[in-house]
Amino acid sequence: MGVLVGKKAPEIALKAVVKDKIIDRFTLSSLEGKYVVLFFYPLDFTFVCPTELHAFQAKLKEFEARNTQLVACSVDSHFSHLAWLNTPHNKGGIEGVEYPILSDINKEASRAYNVLKEDEGIAYRGLFLIDREGVVRHQVVNDLPLGRSVDEALRMVDALTFFEQNGEVCPANWKKGEKAMQPTAAGLETYFSS
């Protein structure tokens, strides 16, 4: 697995499904000017995956309020995505999910983001926070059985935004509204002394 933090996010140009519409060419570059949380998941119609997609949907308004676009991606076809979107929540479906779901059927994006589990042909649970200029600022990759924290993704958007606006760095477990610090020895001393 390669580290993409600090590098330009690999471009994506894939078919996508948004609600009940198919987009023939969804590009990551079309989102420049927004923060992007791009997350990969293994497969449609599985077990941990719908819990994650619903958890992101439940916080969609919070991401939007932070000028952040959610984008999901798996190796399934856009037809599979549509079928899953038309499957009720209580039947394991993702009915009601409104953000784009990309079809990486040729595994181009999964390879570019270094999350492809080659022996199974599916993606690990990779999550990438991309800034408004298209640079990856945070990444985390979970193994297949380990669901991710949507609240942590929101926290990272808040931390990046705070840093960009204030120039202060965010210490461990920092949350929006808490004290940060100047990135200097004096700033560290001030932080620990209060």
Q: What is the rounded CA–CA span in Å between residue 152 and residue 142?
A: 13
pLDDT in tens, 68-109: 999 999 999 999 999 999 999 999 999 999 999 999 999 999
Beta carbons within 8 Å of 68's beta carbon, 6+ residues apart: 34, 35, 36, 37, 157
Q: Is 170 a catalytic residue?
A: no
pLDDT in tens, 119-178: 999 999 999 999 999 999 999 999 999 999 999 999 999 999 999 999 999 999 999 999
H/E run at residue 103: strand 101-103
Q: What is the rounded CA–CA span in Å between residue 14 and residue 21?
A: 14
Beta strands in the chain (DSSP E): 13-18, 21-27, 35-40, 68-74, 101-103, 116-117, 122-123, 125-130, 136-142
4, 14, 36, 49: which one is catalytic? 49
Count CB atoms within 10 A of the CB of residue 166: 11
Strands 35-40 and 136-142: unpaired
Please report the domains of the chain, with CATH numbers, ordered by start residue.
13-146 (3.40.30.10), 149-194 (no CATH)
Helix 48-58 crosses helix 150-166 at what angle (to 10 degrees)?
40
Q: What is the rounded CA–CA span in Å between residue 169 and residue 94?
A: 37
Q: Position 51: which residue type? A: T
pLDDT in tens, 20-37: 899 999 999 999 999 999
pTM score: 0.96
